[in-house]
Each structure stands twice: as structure tokens, then as C-alpha cells.
Amino acid sequence: MVDFKINILLIKIMKEAKFYKKLNDNNVQCELCNHFCTIKDNQTGFCRVRKNKKGKLISLVYGYPVALNADPIEKKPLFHFMPASYTYSLGTLGCNFRCANCQNWDISQAKNIENKIDNLSFYDPESIVEDAIYNECASISYTYTEPTIFTEYALDIMKLAHSRGLKNVWVSNGFMSKKCLEEILHYLDAINIDLKSMDDDFYQKNCAARLKPVLENLIRIKKEQIHLEITTLIIPTLSDSIDMLSKIADFIVNELGTDIPWHISKFSPEISWKLKDLPATGDDIIYEAYEIGKEAGLKYIYVGNLPGDQRENTYCPKCGELCIRRFGYHIERLDNNGFCPKCDADLDIID
Ligand code: SF4
């Protein structure tokens, strides 16, 4: 038992980060995301989970998930990737964004990470994969907070997951560095990326980030033919302009393809980190965004947080037949193994 505790302690202290370079005077530069933080000795980067210890960059969260659940894949949301399957989902503390609208802010914006981790249990990658299999999940999702910031842990799990026949899913803000993206692409099967706005000012003010790297990464992911879906949260006054929503729809159509599913979801002030004074997103703008996507030429547009709305369903893009009926996370598959049961059109589904 004593030995076991010592081992845990060593793993905590010794897990060196992957993507960084050493600078003068024991400083380091993290190369994991597009912040490229320069970090002084004994300091953490912007995400609060990567710490410079005497010129060595350490991942503080390797092996310490703060949330573990078997979720419906639709919750990510992914509607065209193994529909109606379960995905073993995990996330750690920390984030490289500061989204004022964050719904998981209690874990994403946590401070004093080292103290908090002292109260978490260690899960090695093998135990995560075993638990996913035990829970009859078809995939593992790296989610809840931004997986980029726990890439080392995710990568080790992803490699094992593939060797055991499980798929890997990321739910991401898309702000990882090129270096990070190239490495995860080897093991990634599907990803949902938030395209929060087409306005760089929004990214800077609301998220403390930038738009351009997200767009570039989306194009790279599409080129690699990784299954991709996109989510946009419509926030009243901040990301609800018709012009901006049209730009998102046009970007998806022109740069990524009409087959990319676009999820439009509602903002709720009660559960957001900040922005408590804003109203909840009205249904009208959600329906308007849906029409904007249709007019732009997207084949699959879905409304979120509106259980029972027919716009949650998948219809055949060719003949209009109902192919997957959804009510929240109750999924009824009427398709024929990813093809329309009426006209046999391809529904761009991966099973
Ligand atoms: S992951 Fe991003 S935010 Fe975190 S330390 Fe590295 S560059 Fe900074």
C-alpha cells in the first residue's frame, strides 16, 4: 500500500508534458495550443494545468479526470457518428478558453489545481479503457473541458482504445496548435468543434482566444476526413446576428462541405459562468438560424435544447424521408444502415 502511494506521487510529479520547448533562465514555451504561453519557473500556463518545474513542463492533470460518465453519443453532440451508441466520457480540470458563457465553469475555470487534484483519484489509461468496455461503450470521448489541455493523457488513452477496438471522439474548441492536431489526428475518429462566431472580436472578448486558428484547424480536420460536426451556441446580443450566422453557414458549405452537421444551441443564463444579465436564447432565432443553414445548402442542421422539436430529427437530404427520430436522447433509427429507407440516399453516417 505504501509503495502504491509512492508510485502515485511519482506519477504526479514526473509526468512531463509533450509539446514544449526550453528557453533561457528555466523558462519554457508551451506549444500545445495557440496561446503558446511562455511560462516561468514555478508558474502555470493560461490553462492552469501545465506547470514549469525547474525548466521542465509538467501536466498536472495526467491521470486525474474530474468527470467520468457513460453518455449517449448524441450528448456530445454527434448525430452522424455511431448513432444511439454510448460513449465513455472524461474530462479534467482546466481550460485554455475563458468563455463567459461556459456551462462547466466550475471545472474548466478551477483555480488551485494542485490542491484540487490531491482530492482526486488516479486513473491510468488502462483503467479508463477497461471501464469503457465494462460500460459497453463503443467509443471514448474527451470532453467536458477542453481536451487539448490534457492531450498527453488523452493520447495514451486513445492509443489503447484503438488497440481494444474503441473509437475516439473529441469535443473541442479547436484551438490546439498544429503540432498537437497532427499528433491526435492519428488516433481521432470523430470530433465536434464549437464554431462560436465568425467575429474575431467575439473570440477575443468572450473567450480570450482567436478565431483564425479554429478555422484553420477545421479545414485541416476536414482534409484528413475525420468525422466532423460543428456546434454554435447562439448568445443574445453577442452571437445572434443574421449576418454572422450566415457567415458560419457559408464557411461550412464552402470550406468544409454540405455534409457537415451543424448543431445550433440555446444559451441559458442560469447555468452560465457570467452573462447572467442576458436573456435565454429565444426559439425564433434558433429557427431562423436553421433556415439560414438550409438556404446555404447544408444537408443536416439540428436544434439543441428543444426536445421533441422535429428539427432534432435526421431527414433524407434527397427525398425528405424521416430517417432518425430523436426525442432528447431517445433515438429511433429508421434508416437502413446509414442509407435512406425510401430512396437509398447516403445519410453520411458512420456506424
Ligand atoms: S495548453 Fe495553451 S494555455 Fe495551456 S500552457 Fe499550453 S499554450 Fe498555454
Per-residue pLDDT of the chain (351 residues; tens, 9 = 90+): 334 444 444 455 568 999 999 999 999 999 999 999 999 999 999 999 999 999 999 999 999 999 999 999 999 999 999 999 999 999 999 999 999 999 999 999 999 999 999 999 999 999 999 999 999 999 999 999 999 999 999 999 999 999 999 999 999 999 999 999 999 999 999 999 999 999 999 999 999 999 999 999 999 999 999 999 999 999 999 999 999 999 999 999 999 999 999 999 999 999 999 999 999 999 999 999 999 999 999 999 999 988 889 999 999 999 999 999 999 899 999 999 999 999 999 999 999
Between CA 196 and CA 239 the distance in angstroms is 8
Residue range 182-237, pLDDT digits in tens: 999 999 999 999 999 999 999 999 999 999 999 999 999 999 999 999 999 999 99
Q: Report the nearest atom of ligand 1 relative to the CA of 44.
A: 5
Contact 86, 136 (CB under 8 A): yes
Distance 96 CA to ligand 1 centre (A): 6
Domain architecture of the chain: domains with CATH: 2-59 (no CATH), 67-311 (3.20.20.70), 313-351 (no CATH)
CA distances, 314 to each of 98, 284, 327 (Å): 33, 21, 12
Grid coordinates of 47: 490553462
To test ligand 1's pocket by mutation, which of 40, 50, 108, 177 has the most ligand atoms within 8 angstroms of CB? 50
Residue type present at position 89: S
For residue 77, is the peptide bond before it cis, meaning its omega torsion is within 30 degrees of 0?
A: yes
Rounded to an integer, what distance in angstroms lies between the CA atom of residue 217 and that of residue 34? 11
Atom of ligand 1 minimally distant from the CA of 94: 4
Distance from chain centroid for Cα 298: 21
φ, ψ of residue 125 to 5 degrees: the values are -55, -35
| Predicted model pTM | 0.95
How far does residue 199's CA lie from ligand 1's centre (Å)? 22
